[in-house]
Every structure is written in structure tokens, then in C-alpha cells.
Chain A
Amino acid sequence: MIGLVRDIVTSLGNAGPLVRLLVTVAIMLASALIVLGIVLLYEGFATYAERKVAGDIQARIGPNRVGPYGLLQFVADGVKLLLKEDIIPFYADRWLFVLAPYIVFTASFAAFVPLSYSEHVYVADLNVGVLYIIAISSVVSMAILMGSWGSNNKWSLFGGMRAVAQIISYEIPIVLSLLAAVIVPASLDMKDIIGCQAGGLGIFRWLLFNNPFTLLAFFVYFIAAIAEVNRTPFDIPEAESEIVAGYHTEYTGMRFAFFFMAEYGDMFVVSALATTLFLGGWQVPFIGGLAMPVWLRELLEVAVFFGKVFLLIYVMMWIRWTLPRLRVDQLMDLCWKYLTPIAFFNLIGASIWVLAFHGKGVYDLIAGLYAH
């Protein structure tokens, strides 16, 4: 998208500086709005899918009243949330209470920026894409703390403290397992990471299959990522049976919806990160090497990317409606006594593998055996 901006601005030639400025800002705003629209649409359908999956697993039907198959349920929900009374508790810290939902949503939305949806469809190609996503999602924990303190409610504060403790703890196995994958392409750029997974029928060069350590790292990452987005079985920050609704107890209407949408946005981002780093990103399996028109290839790549991401999101929903919630001490045990040591072991193992085999994966090594 930045490349597009540069091309269009240079094509303007001798236009005045004000025109250039306006065009640049207009393109930036337009791209942001396009992504925002797609994200909101996805979040709407994700809430519908969540309820349908829940219904399926609990042998119910789920939403089926609004529109065909209840597909428009999220529109009804959205209108309802918009129309609800906006309550700010009398003893709340007004500034912090009002500001927190916006920061949560902005941070979760900002994480979509460096994602690469196909070879040419992306918003910005950042050199530090992976690190950027990790950094910007850590802003979420700050905003949760802000909202929970601002609510002036002990359940909110408990929920906020739990959320922050959990997010900070689980960030360590997440970063370590991402590092184990990132050292193979030796780049933090989404484009390079996906580029190095090309070939091998579009499947066997995935970083998931690169070496045994990245395979393990994927599972460590995925478990920790579920905890990072506060979903069951790791949803103690909003455990209804213990602390009402956690950090968003006092929020109503649209402000509550911002927290809610941020959760679904985060789900997409962590799944997209897993897809990019471990599952080959937008690389099309099997027929990726065939010759085809550019528009068809791009379309196929976008479809494959979203397909992989939605598969991971489905697994998250499946886990949510199948497993019971962990206790606080069990949660911390899992992070510090199991996931973190495994992630460290992975990182060292993957480094040794990269040094020993010059970054070649299992597939390349086996293919190399038959090449002679």
C-alpha cells in the first residue's frame, strides 16, 4: 500500500505540495477504512460462527431467526448494542473509563497492519512485522488495566490484574516459540517469512515441517496464543463464576462492544501470525506452481490465507466449548513450568538445527538424499 502511495504520488508529477499531501492522506485513510470494514465484517460473522459452533457442540441449533440461517444475527446484535444506554458509573474515573475501550480496539486493529494477505495484497510491508504485532498487542494489556482501574469496581480490578498477569506471562512462550520459527528465514518481515516457505508442493516447505523444533514451537505458540486472547480454557480474567465479568463488568452498550470486538480481532491476528509463520501464509498447496492469470492467483492466495486462518479460529472455538476453565494457579503452572521451558528448549534446538544443516528443512534434506 505504501508502494502504491509512492507510485501515485510520483505520477502526480508537478502537482502542488498540497495536492500531494491530500492524495497521500486520502489513500492512507482509504486503505485504513477498507481494512476496518473487512475487520468489522469478519468480527460480525465470527460472533455468529462462535454461537453456531457452540450450538453444534452442545447439540443445539444456535441463532436461526434473523435472516437466512440466522446469518444477520450480528446486525441485530450490533444495532442492539448501539441503542443501549451508555452507563458510566458515578464513582468511576471518568477519563480512564471512557478512554480504555478505544485504546483496546485501536491496538487490536493496529495489529492488522503488517499482515500479508497475498503476494500483492497487504497494507504495509514492515521490516519488523512480527515484532510489531507482538509490541502493539502488549498495548492491549495496558488498556485493560486502564479500564479495570477506571471502573472503580473490585471485580473489574481483579479481572484486570488477572488479565495483565496472564498476558505478560504468556507473552514469554509466545515470543520464544516465534523466535524458533523466525531464525530459519532470518527475517522479521512477513514477506520474507512467507517467501522462504514456497515450493515443496506448497506444504512440505512450511516452517511447521522445517524441523522437529518448529513443529513443537507451533503447538506451544498456539496454546499460549489462546491464553493471550483470554479465551476458555484460559479465560480467568473474565470468569463469570468468580468475578462477574472481569475487566469489562461495568461497561455497557458500544463500549462493551469495543472490548468484545477487540477479542475477536486478536483471535484473527494470532491465527494469522500462526498461519504466516508456520503454515506457509498465502502459499497455495499443490497447485501453487501452476501457471495462471495474476488475478486468479491473487484471489486463490487470499482465499487460502483466510481459509487457514479460519481453520485455526474454528479450533479455538472448538476448544472453548469443549474444555473447562483452568484455575489461576494451574494457569501459571502451565505457563512457567511447562510452556516456557519447552519454548527455551525449542529455541536452542532450532538454533542448533539451523547451524548444523545451514537452514535446510527436513523436506530439503530428504529431497537432497534422492538428488544424487
Chain B
Amino acid sequence: MSAVPSTVHLLFFYFFAAMTIASALLVVLLRNIVQSAFALFFTLFGVAGIYILLGADFVGVTQVLIYIGGVMILIVFGVMLTHNSYSVDIFNRLGTLVMGTISAIVTFTIIYYAIRQVPWRLIGYKASIPTTRPIGTLLMTDYLLPFELASVLLVLAMVGAAYLIRSELRVGKERKDRDKRGAGLERKDA
């Protein structure tokens, strides 16, 4: 394959890039917090499209599976369960606007210079090379420790969540028992 992207590639790239940027702007600018959570869906989807255009089909599909099927749903649930999520208006005060602009410019400058510093190696367009097997092999050999550490972290988070729920149940049960005892005592007194 050639090192020069075909017109179709470019067309799709601009489509996904525009989708990512426009929806990211919506996430930040929309006043309704639930709507901005749903706008994030299009941002994540656009990023997945760009991954696939880069030839990383496995990463792109995983992005859809993990971020849209998992993280997105969690975020939306979290937003929906927030108190008053219907009426909450995110109001951008002038102070936050100034601070936000400054931090955005600083972040952009850092990223821009970082990208300029890296000597990029162009490998051309090889969209049809299977990537699943090399990724699996690398995860089981060179990157086994980070991979296992990440799974340990996930297990810890899961156990922690389960423990929190259990302790809430326990407290609730104790309170109920106490109430029951209290009610019994009252009856005895009467």
C-alpha cells in the first residue's frame, strides 16, 4: 500500500475528526448535563473511527466496546442518579472562563510541542494486517506485568465496591434490628 492516504481515507478522517471535535465542544458547552453526557458518546465513537483508520482495528473495536458499552453507560447512570439532574444548569462564571482559557492554552501548547518533538515514522496505510495475535502475544510476554497489575487494580476496585455495598446493607440491617427491639421494648413498657 502507498504511503499517501487515498481520498476516501482522507474523507473518512475528516468526517471522524469533525465528529470528535464538534461533539467534544458540545460536551463542554451544553447547559444540560445529561445532554452533554450523551454528546460524549459521539466523541468516543469518532475516536474509535480514527483508530480504525490508523489500522488499529482491534483497538478501535475495543474502544467502542469498553468506552461506549461500559464507561459511557456508567457515566450516564451516574449523571442520571445525580440529584436534580433534570434542572441542573452548568453556569460558566467569568472566573472559570478565564482560568479555563488559560489552562486550555497551556495544555494545548504542551501537547503541541510534545507532538513536534517526536520523530514520527510513517509506515503507510496497512489497514488489513491482523493485529489481534501480536497484541495477545505481547500482552502475554513483554507486557505481562503491567497487564496483570491492571487486572489486580480492577479486582481491587470490584472488591471495594462490593464491600461498600455490603457494609451499607449491614448498617441498614442493624438499624432495622434496633428499631424492632425498640418497638418491642415500648410494647413491654406499655
Contact = CB atoms under 8 A, between A and B. Distances in A.
A and B associate in one complex = yes
Contact of A142 (B35, B72, B128, B131): B72
A131 B45 CA distance: 16
Q: What is the interface of chain B mostly: helix, strand, loop, or mixed?
A: helix
A344 B51 CA distance: 31
A138 B69 contact: yes
Interface string B29-73: 000101100100100010000000000011001101100111011
B76 A145 contact: yes
Interface stretch (A17-25, A245-253, A310-318): A17-25
Given A25-B8, A127-B57, A127-B130, A95 B73 contact: no
Interface in B1-51: 6-8, 11, 32, 34-35, 38, 41, 45
A141 interface: yes
A121 B187 CA distance: 79
Interface in A103-137: 126-128, 131-132, 134-136
A139 B68 contact: yes
A25 B8 CA distance: 8
Interface string B131-163: 110000000000000000000000000000000
Contacts of A134: 65
Contacts of A189: 130
A1 interface: no
A121 B91 CA distance: 54
A128 B57 contact: yes
Contacts of B62: 131, 135
Contacts of B73: 141-142, 145, 164, 168
A220 interface: no
B8 A24 contact: yes
B80 A128 contact: no
B64, B77, B131, most chain A CB atoms within 10 A = B64
B65 A138 contact: yes
Contacts of B35: 93, 95-96
Interface in A161-195: 164, 168, 171, 187-189
Contacts of B38: 96, 146
A126 B61 CA distance: 11
Interface string A326-352: 000000000000000000000000000
A146 B80 CA distance: 11
Q: What is the interface of chain A mostly: helix, strand, loop, or mixed?
A: helix
Interface residues of B, number: 28
Contacts of B132: 127-128, 187-188
A155 interface: no
Nearest to B76: A145
A189 to B, nearest CB: 7
B64 A135 contact: yes
B8 A131 contact: no
A139 B8 contact: no
Contacts of B131: 127
A187 B136 CA distance: 12
A149 interface: yes
Contacts of A126: 57
B7 A17 contact: yes
Nearest to B48: A135
Contact of A132 (B11, B41, B61, B128): B61
A136 B69 CA distance: 9
Interface in B101-146: 128, 130-132
Contacts of B68: 135, 138-139, 142
A135 B59 CA distance: 11
Contacts of A136: 64
Contact of B69 (A25, A95, A128, A135): A135
Given A20-B7, A127-B57, A135-B61, A149 B41 contact: no
A155 to B, nearest CB: 15
A98 to B, nearest CB: 12
A138 B64 contact: yes
B7 to A, nearest CB: 4
B58 A141 contact: no
Given A128-B58, A142-B76, 16 more contacts: A20-B6, A21-B7, A93-B34, A96-B38, A127-B57, A127-B58, A128-B61, A131-B65, A132-B61, A134-B65, A135-B68, A138-B65, A138-B69, A138-B70, A168-B70, A188-B132
Q: Top 10 A-B pairs ranked by shortest CB distance?
A: A138-B69, A135-B65, A135-B64, A127-B130, A21-B7, A135-B61, A131-B61, A128-B61, A132-B61, A24-B8
16 contacts: A20-B7, A93-B32, A96-B35, A127-B57, A127-B128, A128-B61, A131-B61, A134-B65, A135-B61, A135-B69, A138-B70, A139-B69, A146-B38, A164-B77, A168-B69, A168-B70
Interface of A: 17, 20-21, 24-25, 93, 95-96, 126-128, 131-132, 134-136, 138-139, 141-142, 145-146, 149, 164, 168, 171, 187-189
